[in-house]
Structure 1
Amino acid sequence: MRSLEDPGIGEDPETEPAESTLGSETEPAESTLGSATEPAESTLGSETEPAESTLGSEDVSRAAGLRLARSARRLVGSLLGPHRGGVALCLLILVLENAVRLTGPLVVAYAIDTGVPAALDGRPAALSWAVVGYAASGLAAAGLRAAFLLLSGRIGQDVLLELRRRVFTHAQRLALEWHETYTSGRLISRLTSDLESIDDLLDQGLDGLLGAVLTLGGITVLLMLIDPVLAGVVLAGFVPLAALTIWFQRRSRASYRLTRTRVARVIVQFVESMNGIRAVQAYRREARNESIMAQLNTRYRDANADALLTLSWFVACVRAVGNVTLALVLLFGALRVSSGALELGALTAFLLYLRRFYDPLDQLAQFLNAYQSAAAALEKLSSVLDTPVGVPEVAAPTPLTAARGALEFDRVSFAYPRAPERLVLPEFSLRVPAGQTIALVGATGAGKTTLAKLAARFHDPVSGSVLLDGVDLRVLSDADLRRALVMVTQEPFLFSGSIAENVALGRPSATRAEVEAALATVGAGFVRDLPEGVDADVRKRGGRFSAGQRQLVTLARVVLADPAVVLLDEATSSLDIPSERAVQAALETVLADRTALIIAHRLSTVAIADRVLVMADGRVIQDGTPEQLLATEGDFADLHAAWAASLR
């Protein structure tokens, strides 16, 4: 069964932005993708899975499990809602198929008790009709089976398509805080191995459950009609079967929750190791990473083995009950035939139905196995979908037709959700007139990047307001805010595709000439030297270009987007001196007549600022032009002296 196999890892962890690109100096330390260290167990526990030890302790609490189960049921209901008509038609086809299939043994009994004696007397019509009827029922059952599989398969794929769309769309809307905690590998696990488990259930869901129930119900009624005494022997076997089913449900639910947790950890380790491959090879971490992966793989194998063992015991016990019941029916049935209380044909039909009676039980066991795996996967997926959007868009946004770029922080206080007791910004106020360039400098942890994140509305303040042209960001539409404000991060990120496609992210409707003009504006002359020009493939994360060249491409995006406000978060800190000078020259062009917040540790970038704010502990401790602050003693003069000394 695929639900117990190692899942595919999926395509590209490489296409995710590096999580460090927006790394705040004030947030708790993150596990970076390039650290080549073991995945911290605690980073995998936000889905209510406690730290690993035993099966019982890894399973969620009963109350949490019930909440997750309810959430999963709501999710299934919403996914199947648009397909109610198709599901009803599937049920009708399934009922008809089972009815047709159940006529077979009755036709056999008629042939033995009536058709054969009549044929021996020279009247073969009854036997001929029995043969034709049996063949017709087989053909009809085959046709109905094909129709059911086609329709149920289409519904199942539509449900999976919608589920993938929901998870991907919702994940993109979740707060940065969530993404910094919920590792990319776990999200890949949700969209690969968890969806495979649900696919398995959809493949056999209606058929496995409803088909088995209909078959069991129909056969039970027919057994009672053929011979109530022998039917009583069969029904007595339901007592151990019911106990076995209850045990299997409870045990397999715990087992599959464990497999979902452990496969996510395998994928997390794989993704982090591959994204951090430079650090892995530079520090010769291959052997250690292999040891970590071997341990995680062993745990995943053990969890799967436990689930398979549970299924094996259930199937074996069900078949043992079935075989014992069949032997008893054969014994008592033979006695009743010999006494004349039962016809031989009726006993034959009874035994044929009884053989079919236990096939659905095996089918039901397979369904329950797939169901428990899919239920655990649905719980994980629903936990993602139930996570509230960090910065929800207002239902009736205030329009912002032509942004001027005046930015204001009005008595803003902020604390990260992971540490709500620690205020990063304690009632911060700042006005930035339209067109002014402000540089924010200070030690790590001063709150500079937090200001940029609030201005970009990656977070909302705990109290106070951030305003653009006098309008609170919380009442602006996302589209208006993204048109008016663009953020350039320390790590320039290029998506798979051409240079032109990456630049056009700033304005997708731009023409080729406008893209080329934007690149020329920022001085990205290297593009003209490429044989393919703007059509050159950037490769994985822009790996064919230097950091400075990638940053010039991202600045061309800004030129093309033409925002009123530009946020620069350490945009030159990772560049060498020639690249830094090229980017700084581009910045002077990009920031002309725009409002800008520049976060910088390299004070060479500060020279283009109209005003410098020195921050410490979420407060402004110095404010003035670069020349004014250099002329006075203070933190900025000390920082500048230390920076100048580092260049000697």
Structure 2
Amino acid sequence: MTAGTIGGGSQRLLRELLTPYRRAIQLLVGIVLVENAARLAIPYLVKEGIDTGIPPIRERDDLEPLLLIVGIVVVALLAQAFARQLFLVRSGQIGQDILFEIRRRVFRHFQALSPAFHDAYTSGRVISRQTSDVDAIYEMLETGFDGLVTAALTLVGTAGLLLFLDVKLGLVALLCGPFLVWLTAWFRRESATSYRVTREKVALVIVHFVESMGGIRAVQAFRREPRNQEIFDDVNDQYRAANLVAFRLVAWFMPGVRLIGNVTIAVVLLYGGYRAYHGDVTVGVLAAFLLYLRQFFEPMMEISQFYNTFQSASAALDKLAGVLAEEPSVPEPATPHRLEHVRGAVTFEHVGFSYVDNRPVLPDLDLVVPAGQTVALVGTTGAGKTTLAKLATRFYDPTAGRVLLDGVDLRDLTSDDLRRSVVMVTQENYLFSGTIADNIRFGRPTASMDEVVEAARSLGAHDFITAMPEGYETDVANSGGRLSAGQRQLVAFARAFLADPAVLILDEATSSLDVPSERLVQRALRTVLAGRTAVIIAHRLSTVEIADRVLVMEHGRVVEDGSPAELIEGGDGRFAGLHQAWLDSLA
């Protein structure tokens, strides 16, 4: 894609956004034509007032011709004002509707993209797409197209009227054209690169700011503030430098246009005055010429501003179109299979998976988890436990083999059916802004308050919630900052319990808890897991004790499989060794 142009994806996106408003845009073009016709008529009416309205006053005290022209001027001014007001109202409404649709599409698409995309695409870049890029498009919709259309109509209309009034004087006035074309072409070429760099630099500022504030605890804990400040100062300075380049371009372009305009006005005044002195043109024509020339050069400033907004908006459109072109790595099935009554049997058939080519995490996994069984996965870091969980929830698709739920390939299930049937609770136990009740209801938005309370009571969370200042209506603050780790975990379990999935996966769900909190959560776990299939990933063997079956994984393979008691009684296996080490640590 060349600088200063909109790419194919951006063109498609812009066309899709504007197509529903085709008739409204045609109406806006008509309104702009009326406004500009009224504005362009004013200098001509001034000429008529001087040449045909004033002589009757001097010759026979007849005011009627001048009053008629003044009346027409008033009508033209009113028409211009009304058209302008109507344009601003209608264009503002269309612009806001388009921005609403852009934000809605981007948010919906970001949510639909799989975790693999979000693992690579930073939160700062996500925010940049929804803020600075959308703002750039808003600026173009608000002032850009209006300025460009007005400038084009003014330039063409004024040039035609100048030649209509007096061909010789008009040609002299239009001698500035080649200089303006050269200056505009230079500005367009340079600004295309400059404003694209500006958009890239502001994205770096947003990304670094968001990531620094998002990880502020780690920043402060490791005394990272000076280094983060250095990085921010650097990207901020790059953004400042990019803006300075853009400002310098405008600083050359706008005075250049003014210089050409003033020289042209001086030449027209000199030549026109000479011809008026000799009676070749009237004073009214010369006055109209000078007024039209002022209108002729003003749009060049609008064009410069349009290039600013256009370059920013085109860069923003490129980024947004690129995001919207991303395909989910776990697409919806073309012909989905419906599961009416989910039992919760999970099967891995010759499953292979790798995050990086030729480096398999799961080389060839065969595993059957019967419905209603609680399975614990243990093993060293990197053994493939969390990967197995991500495949079971279809955050990723296997690179080989199949993952089945009740005998149906997960790739044949809609995301809605799968998410209702399989729920994953992680150690992050993320809580959203809002009340405790809102966060529990996140598992089933249609749940009544009685059902929310019952879920919390079943898991032993009701007492601590009612002890909060506003009970279930207590705001959890940023990411649940008002709650302890154990309380956040209980809220996350209540959310999962209320969702009532057939399969529940717990990924290190108790790893961040102290012993009292862990015991509280352990009691809640027995309630949560009752009557459903469960996969528990845990390093703490206290969590494993409630499992029906233990799988020990190494390098993506199951190396031990049995009940906790059977594996411990064996005495010489990996799980037995882990269990003995755990007992020794307690002693």
Mark yes or no: TM-score above 0.5: yes
Correspondence for 2:519 among 581, 586, 601? 581
Matches within 5 A, 1:232-631: 232-416=171-355, 419-524=356-461, 525-631=463-569
Whole-Å Cα distance in 2 between the matches of residues 66 and 196 of structure 1? 19
After TM superposition, give the deviation of residue 158 of structure 1 in Å.
Answer: 0.8
Change (3 A) 1:403 1:68: farther
Whole-Å Cα distance in 1 between the matches of residues 230 and 195 of structure 2? 25
Correspondence for 1:89 among 20, 23, 27? 27
Residue 604 of structure 1 aligns to a residue whose secondary structure is helix
Whole-Å Cα distance in 1 between the matches of residues 560 and 536 of structure 2? 16
Q: Does 1:215 align with 2:154?
A: yes
After TM superposition, give the deviation of residue 113 of structure 1 in Å.
Answer: 1.0
Whole-Å Cα distance in 2 between the matches of residues 318 and 645 of structure 1? 84
Residue of structure 1 equivalent to 2:43? 105
Deviates more, 1:65-74 or 1:228-237: 65-74
Q: One-letter code of the match for 1:602? A: R
Deviates more, 1:203-212 or 1:273-282: 273-282
1:518 touches 1:559 (CA, 8 Å); kept in 2? yes
Deviates more, 1:164-173 or 1:620-629: 620-629
Whole-Å Cα distance in 2 between the matches of residues 431 and 332 of structure 1? 96
Residue 597 of structure 1 aligns to a residue whose secondary structure is strand
User: How many residue pairs end up in the alignment?
Assistant: 584
Q: One-letter code of the match for 1:540? A: N
1:175 touches 1:459 (CA, 8 Å); kept in 2? yes
Q: CA RMSD in A?
A: 1.6
Q: Percent identity?
A: 54
Whole-Å Cα distance in 1 between the matches of residues 106 and 345 of structure 2? 36
1:253 touches 1:376 (CA, 8 Å); kept in 2? no
After TM superposition, give the deviation of residue 68 of structure 1 in Å.
Answer: 6.5
Residue 458 of structure 1 aligns to a residue whose secondary structure is coil
Whole-Å Cα distance in 1 between the matches of residues 459 and 4 of structure 2? 57
Q: For each residue in 1:580-601, what CA deviation from the matched residue of structure 2 results, as whole angstroms up to 9, or x when unmatched?
A: 1111111111111211111111
After TM superposition, give the deviation of residue 165 of structure 1 in Å.
Answer: 0.7
After TM superposition, give the deviation of residue 67 of structure 1 in Å.
Answer: 9.5
Q: One-letter code of the match for 2:246? A: A
After TM superposition, give the deviation of residue 95 of structure 1 in Å.
Answer: 0.4
Question: Per chain length, whose mean CA-contact separation is higher, i.e. which structure has more relative contact order (CA < 8 Å, sep 6+)?
Answer: 1
Whole-Å Cα distance in 2 between the matches of residues 201 and 646 of structure 1? 65
Matches within 5 A, 1:22-37: none
Residue 545 of structure 2 aligns to a residue whose secondary structure is helix
Matches within 5 A, 1:69-84: 69-84=7-22
Residue of structure 2 equivalent to 1:135? 74
After TM superposition, give the deviation of residue 239 of structure 1 in Å.
Answer: 1.5
1:406 touches 1:469 (CA, 8 Å); kept in 2? yes
Residue of structure 1 equivalent to 2:126? 187
Residue 506 of structure 1 aligns to a residue whose secondary structure is coil
Deviates more, 1:236-245 or 1:615-624: 236-245
1:173 touches 1:390 (CA, 8 Å); kept in 2? no
After TM superposition, give the deviation of residue 312 of structure 1 in Å.
Answer: 1.8
Q: One-letter code of the match for 1:541? A: S
Change (3 A) 1:250 1:427: farther
Whole-Å Cα distance in 2 between the matches of residues 251 and 364 of structure 1? 14
Q: One-letter code of the match for 2:65? A: A
Whole-Å Cα distance in 2 between the matches of residues 629 and 381 of structure 1? 54
After TM superposition, give the deviation of residue 190 of structure 1 in Å.
Answer: 1.4
Residue of structure 2 equivalent to 1:124? 63
1:398 touches 1:475 (CA, 8 Å); kept in 2? yes
Residue 507 of structure 1 aligns to a residue whose secondary structure is coil
After TM superposition, give the deviation of residue 157 of structure 1 in Å.
Answer: 0.8
After TM superposition, give the deviation of residue 565 of structure 1 in Å.
Answer: 0.2
Whole-Å Cα distance in 1 between the matches of residues 370 and 417 of structure 2? 19
After TM superposition, give the deviation of residue 531 of structure 1 in Å.
Answer: 4.1
2:4 touches 2:311 (CA, 8 Å); kept in 1? no
Q: One-letter code of the match for 1:305? A: L
After TM superposition, give the deviation of residue 72 of structure 1 in Å.
Answer: 1.5
After TM superposition, give the deviation of residue 283 of structure 1 in Å.
Answer: 2.8
Q: One-letter code of the match for 1:470? A: G
Q: For each residue in 1:184-216, what CA deviation from the matched residue of structure 2 results, as whole angstroms up to 9, or x when unmatched?
A: 111111111111111111111231111111111
Q: For each residue in 1:240-279, what CA deviation from the matched residue of structure 2 results, as whole angstroms up to 9, or x when unmatched?
A: 2222222222221211221111111111221222222222
Whole-Å Cα distance in 2 between the matches of residues 424 and 542 of structure 1? 33
Matches within 5 A, 1:47-58: none
Whole-Å Cα distance in 2 between the matches of residues 332 and 456 of structure 1? 82
After TM superposition, give the deviation of residue 420 of structure 1 in Å.
Answer: 2.5
After TM superposition, give the deviation of residue 577 of structure 1 in Å.
Answer: 0.8
Question: Structure 1 length normalisation: TM-score?
Answer: 0.88
Which stretches in structure 2 are left out of the alignment for 5+ residues?
none
Whole-Å Cα distance in 2 between the matches of residues 68 and 420 of structure 1? 34
Q: One-letter code of the match for 1:330? A: L
Whole-Å Cα distance in 1 between the matches of residues 291 and 345 of structure 2? 83
1:249 touches 1:372 (CA, 8 Å); kept in 2? no
Deviates more, 1:187-196 or 1:572-581: 187-196
1:570 touches 1:598 (CA, 8 Å); kept in 2? yes
Whole-Å Cα distance in 2 between the matches of residues 428 and 314 of structure 1? 66
After TM superposition, give the deviation of residue 66 of structure 1 in Å.
Answer: 9.1
After TM superposition, give the deviation of residue 503 of structure 1 in Å.
Answer: 1.0
1:68 touches 1:382 (CA, 8 Å); kept in 2? no
Residue 237 of structure 1 aligns to a residue whose secondary structure is helix
After TM superposition, give the deviation of residue 318 of structure 1 in Å.
Answer: 1.7
Whole-Å Cα distance in 2 between the matches of residues 68 and 576 of structure 1? 56
Change (3 A) 1:246 1:67: closer
Correspondence for 1:144 among 83, 106, 124? 83
Q: One-letter code of the match for 1:446? A: A
Whole-Å Cα distance in 1 between the matches of residues 373 and 113 of structure 2? 32
After TM superposition, give the deviation of residue 619 of structure 1 in Å.
Answer: 1.2
Question: Structure 2 length normalisation: TM-score?
Answer: 0.96
Whole-Å Cα distance in 2 between the matches of residues 629 and 235 of structure 1? 94
Residue 212 of structure 2 aligns to a residue whose secondary structure is helix
Q: For each residue in 1:489-511, what CA deviation from the matched residue of structure 2 results, as whole angstroms up to 9, or x when unmatched?
A: 01111111111111111222222
After TM superposition, give the deviation of residue 528 of structure 1 in Å.
Answer: 2.9
1:415 touches 1:422 (CA, 8 Å); kept in 2? yes
Change (3 A) 1:246 1:70: farther
2:4 touches 2:188 (CA, 8 Å); kept in 1? no
Residue 538 of structure 1 aligns to a residue whose secondary structure is coil
Structure 1 runs, 4 residues or longer, greater than 6 Å off: 65-68
Q: One-letter code of the match for 1:345? A: G
Q: One-letter code of the match for 2:83? A: L
After TM superposition, give the deviation of residue 292 of structure 1 in Å.
Answer: 2.1
Change (3 A) 1:316 1:66: closer
Whole-Å Cα distance in 1 between the matches of residues 488 and 526 of structure 2? 17
